[in-house]
Structure 1
Amino acid sequence: MLEFLVGSGLAAAAGLNAWMPLFLLGIVDRFVTGVDLPAGWSWLSSDVALWITGVLLVVEIVADKIPAVDSVNDVLQTAIRPAAGGIVFGAGSSAETLRIEDPSTLFAGNGWIPIAVGIAIALGVHLVKATVRPVANAATLGLAAPAVSTAEDVSSLALAAAAIFAPVIAGILLIALVVGAVLLLRRRRRQRDRDAAPSA
């Protein structure tokens, strides 16, 4: 159960910011005593991986705060965030990676299941984010983009850190995230129905 909470928290964090949980996992594996990634995922803490994920994290943080650029970034991240979610769920839930030399072995066992679950969770969070962000930008003429983006970055960091160090808290944060997303989508639907009513 704890493994599922760890993986889910990390995957949801990836849905908000693809690079935050990847970078955090690498940093924690590298510098925090007592936290070790499974052997198949230890590449996340290599120098190359930390530099790449660190630079991409900064790029995403900056791009996500600029109106219009944030929407383009969300389109580009539609493939990246779910992939990151699959990686961090797999690493966080202690799933072992499979040998890349033989792709046919991926579906031979159950090693792909945690990765698929992580992809689904990150994709769901990403789609909610990508749906809500343009509405917030339009309603505020883009002025809300930096504040909303900062809230997403903080939420991603909090979810990832909680998933690693306090999985039960990550589960609570994940439930709060789902409830918040449902409320936002319902509010958007009501607003759309209200706007459509006079024209009908």
Structure 2
Amino acid sequence: MDVFEHLGAALGLASLAGINLYLTAFVAGLAIRFNWIDLAASHEGLGVLGNEWVLAVAGIMMVIEFCADKVPWLDSGWDAIHTVLRPAGGVLLGMAALGEMDPKFLAIGGLISGGASLTMHGAKAGTRLLVNMSPEPVSNSVASVAEDCLVLGGLTLTAFAPVVAFAVFVILLVVAVLIIRKTFGSVHALWRGLRDRTKRGQA
């Protein structure tokens, strides 16, 4: 079970970082700082999240993201900037959660963590592109709050039931891949339709 607990913690943190890196780091850091969870010796690498400086930076960035994420199209620009940052953060969180392991397993874990973060980021960014095409702004805020709730729920599950979290996040990643295919396919179709109408208008 220890292996699946480590994998659950790593996959959970990495996946959630792909949705909201700063909220994930801040809430996990608070939980560690105030001993809301018992940090196992094998996960002591995550202890750095409880450092006051790390909490301060994560908190500031979390507030900025919270505001930017509610504004149509600004959120997509923010997502574009974080296409590298979220997967990189996911790799660091995932490898810290794995703890001390054989280097080859850590390397594999790092690759999986990065892939999980990038996949969740892609699903979030693609969904937001479609939401931003809606004429009313309410759906954008609803989507953002739903993502924040998903992160908080995912962190709770990862902290108290990492084995269950492993299974849940594997399923979520499969769903995320399907979302990416559908959303980016829809965006491409819309773009092609706009291009064709423009060409007909110029003819």
Return the TM-score normalized by structure 1: 0.79
Task: Indicate the larger mover: 72-81 or 161-170.
Answer: 161-170
Amino acid paired to 2:38: G
Instruction: State whether residues 15 and 82 of structure 1, in contact with CA within 8 Å, keep that contact through their aligned partners in structure 2.
Output: yes
Structure 1: give runs of 5+ residues left out of the alignment. 97-107
The count of residues paired between Structure 1 and Structure 2 equals 187
Distance 1:93 1:125 in 2: 20
Distance 2:20 2:93 in 1: 12
The yes-or-no answer on 1:147 pairing with 2:142 is yes
The RMSD of aligned alpha carbons is: 2.8
The yes-or-no answer on 1:30 pairing with 2:33 is yes
Give 3-state SS (helix, strand or coil) of 1:66's partner.
Answer: coil
Instruction: State whether residues 159 and 173 of structure 1, in contact with CA within 8 Å, keep that contact through their aligned partners in structure 2.
Output: no
Identify which of 48, 57, 76 aligns with 1:71: 76
Amino acid paired to 1:132: T
Instruction: State whether residues 76 and 128 of structure 2, in contact with CA within 8 Å, keep that contact through their aligned partners in structure 1.
Output: yes
Identify which of 6, 10, 14 aligns with 2:13: 10
Identity %, equivalent residues: 28
Instruction: State whether residues 12 and 159 of structure 1, in contact with CA within 8 Å, keep that contact through their aligned partners in structure 2.
Output: no
Amino acid paired to 1:128: A
Instruction: State whether residues 12 and 156 of structure 1, in contact with CA within 8 Å, keep that contact through their aligned partners in structure 2.
Output: no
Change in Cα spacing, 1:164 to 1:53, as seen in structure 2 (3 Å) is same
Structure 2: give runs of 5+ residues left out of the alignment. 197-203
Return the TM-score normalized by structure 2: 0.78
The Cα shift of 1:157 comes to: 1.6
Counterparts of 1:54-133 in structure 2, within 5 Å, are 54-95=59-100, 109-110=103-104, 111-133=106-128
